[in-house]
């Protein structure tokens, strides 16, 4: 499905097809951690604002934001002069000071697990007599009370009505494809009613179009018809979403994996696929989504995308890291490193180590990714010092931080931990996120700690002559 068409469809349904990754709450300190596996999904109370010069508008606010964590809002293009967007709440308010032609404004909500957008149309008239409030020259926007109708043959359905007509005036309603025999759409008010006379147990998607002087607006409803009450059908048109028990899997050749199961929390699933192909000996059950098997050869860690498809061709995905190590990395070190990463580092860098790019959180700083990080892998001792000393204390000689071409100016507190803690988490990050096949030893961390302790550095920012070893 075309991504733009898919996104439009899902926003009308009130859902979003999102990458099902284990998201996290980005905080100023890695000591305070919260998690959310969902990307934001935002809906505004009004999708069209008919405003008048020098007259304050009624604030338009976000009425639904799903379960995803939202760090901030932005809008493009800039709102009409006098109107503002609250970067924390997403509320649009103010008093426009000049007439402005009707224009669509895209509000973006960004969070650690992704982002979503919502479009609000705004017109500012010089005269209060030009437009009727909320019925100006906007396309219609409609929402139905029920998004699915699960009917029974020869039984009258409970009528489904339009509960929101925010936006432009509506002159008529139509539906594509034609409704099942016995059901009808009232072309004047959009009500769907009737008694179906045929059976169709397969959920089908119907598009109801509201037409007005300034355009059209669509709503989408799933309908199925069961033969009788004893054999109900399911008209679930939500996008499929899953999460896996484990996002990180590793083993050694000849040792079977503990099967990793997919747990569904929304929508119907017709198949699972994965890209790229899993390592030899490991397979994905295309029906149940279980990852299992016994690998036959070593494979450096990398990310695999499990794609989930529903009956309407709507996909979601989860990223899973898989590695097949020889016995060159101690398993206990990886296990401890995974626990420390999830408990300490993921709160800032994300559960999948993807960080937050500089353009996602303007004004609040950005968090460098740990995955595919040339900065992290270029110097073995630098990340050890960063764990011990924080930022910018540990890298003044290396500033700025550049990862994959993006520049970061993040500050990071010292996360503490003993030598074993630091060795384990850096071994895990290097191996699982960056394909390293060696490990950071406890004795190596101890050596760096001794070097740091011997430094006699001025803490007011003047670090010349600190003598940090930059050769490793």
Residue found under tokens 């490990």: 439
What is the structure's pLDDT at 360?
46
pLDDT given for residue 150 in this prediction: 92
**Which residues fall within 8 angstroms of residue 62, CB to CB, at 6 or more apart?**
42, 43, 44, 45, 89, 90, 91, 109, 118
Residue 339 token pair: 């626990």
Beta strands 100-111 and 114-125: pairing type? antiparallel
Q: What distances in angstroms separate CA 178 from CA 185, 204, 205, 219, 326, one per listed residue? A: 9, 11, 11, 15, 60
Listed residue (105, 118, 106) closest to 66, CA to CA: 118
Distance (Å, whole) CA 90 – CA 107: 8
Phi and psi, residue 344, nearest 5°:
-120, -55
- pLDDT < 50: residue spans in the chain: 1-35, 128-135, 360-364, 397, 456-472
Per-residue model confidence (pLDDT) at position 65: 60
pLDDT at 69: 82
In this structure, the dihedral spanned by the alpha carbons of residues 299, 302, 303 and 309, taken in order and rounded to 10 degrees, is: -30
Question: In whole angstroms, what is the distance from residue 277 CA to residue 332 CA?
Answer: 28
Q: What is the DSSP letter of 452?
A: H
Tell me what pLDDT residue 379 has. Answer: 86
**Looking at residue 238, what is its pLDDT?**
72
pLDDT in the model for residue 362: 42
User: Domains (ranges, CATH) in the chain?
Assistant: 3-125 (2.60.40.10), 143-226 (2.60.40.10), 241-324 (2.60.40.10), 331-453 (1.10.760.10)
What pLDDT was estimated at residue 95? 93
Task: Report how far residue 263's alpha carbon sits from residue 234's, in angstroms, rounded to the nearest whole number.
Answer: 19
Q: What is the token pair recorded at 255?
A: 């040792």
Rounded to 5°, the CA angle 418-423-425 comes to 100
Evaluate whether 242 touches 265 at the Cβ level (below 8 Å).
yes
284-310 in b/e form (b: 16+ CB < 10 A) is beeeebbbebebeeebebbbbebebbb
Angle at 291 between CA 288 and CA 293, to 5 degrees: 125
Q: How many Cβ atoms sit within 10 Å of the Cβ of residue 372? A: 16
Could you list the beta-strand ranges (E) of 252-298: 262-266, 271-275, 282-284, 291-293
């Amino acid at each position: 499905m075309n991504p733009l068409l898919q996104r439009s469809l899902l926003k009308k349904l009130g859902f979003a097809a999102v990458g099902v990754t284990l998201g996290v709450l980005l905080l100023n300190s890695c000591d305070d951690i919260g998690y959310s596996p969902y990307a934001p999904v935002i809906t505004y109370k009004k999708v069209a604002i008919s405003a008048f010069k020098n007259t304050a508008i009624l604030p338009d606010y976000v009425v639904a934001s799903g379960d995803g964590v939202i760090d901030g809002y932005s809008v493009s293009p800039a709102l009409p002069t006098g109107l503002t967007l609250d970067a924390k709440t997403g509320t649009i308010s103010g008093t426009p000071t000049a007439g402005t032609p009707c224009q669509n404004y895209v509000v973006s909500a960004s969070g650690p697990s992704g982002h979503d957008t919502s479009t609000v149309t705004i017109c500012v008239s010089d005269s209060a007599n030009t437009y009727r409030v909320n019925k100006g020259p906007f396309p219609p926007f409609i929402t139905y009370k029920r998004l699915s109708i699960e009917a029974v043959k020869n039984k009258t359905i409970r009528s489904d009505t339009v509960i929101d007509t925010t936006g432009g005036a509506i002159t008529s309603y139509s539906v594509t494809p034609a409704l099942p025999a016995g059901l009808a759409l009232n072309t004047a008010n959009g009500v769907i009613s009737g008694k179906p006379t045929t059976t169709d147990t397969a959920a089908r998607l119907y598009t109801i179009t509201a037409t007005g002087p300034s355009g059209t607006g669509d709503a989408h409803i799933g309908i199925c018809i069961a033969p009788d009450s004893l054999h109900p059908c399911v008209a679930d048109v939500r996008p499929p979403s899953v999460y896996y028990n484990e996002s990180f899997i590793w083993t050694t050749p000849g040792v079977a994996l503990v099967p990793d199961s997919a747990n569904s929390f929304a929508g119907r699933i017709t198949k699972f696929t994965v890209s790229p192909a899993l390592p030899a000996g490991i397979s994905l059950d295309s029906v149940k989504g279980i990852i299992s098997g016994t690998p036959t050869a070593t494979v450096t860690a990398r990310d695999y995308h499990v794609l989930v498809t529903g009956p309407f061709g709507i996909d979601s995905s989860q990223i899973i890291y898989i590695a097949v190590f020889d016995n060159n990395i101690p398993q206990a070190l990886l296990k401890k490193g995974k626990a420390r990463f999830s408990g300490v580092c993921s709160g800032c860098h994300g559960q999948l180590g993807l960080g937050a790019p500089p353009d996602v959180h303007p004004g609040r700083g950005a968090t460098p990714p740990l995955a595919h990080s040339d900065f992290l892998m270029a110097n073995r001792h630098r990340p050890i010092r960063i764990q011990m000393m924080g930022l910018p204390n540990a890298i003044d000689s290396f500033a700025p931080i550049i990862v994959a071409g993006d520049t970061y100016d993040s500050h990071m507190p010292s996360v503490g931990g003993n030598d074993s803690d630091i060795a384990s988490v850096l071994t895990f990050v290097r191996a699982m996120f960056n394909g390293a096949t060696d490990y950071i030893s406890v004795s190596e961390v101890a050596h760096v700690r001794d070097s740091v302790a011997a430094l006699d550095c001025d803490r007011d920012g003047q670090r010349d002559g600190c003598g940090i070893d930059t050769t490793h």
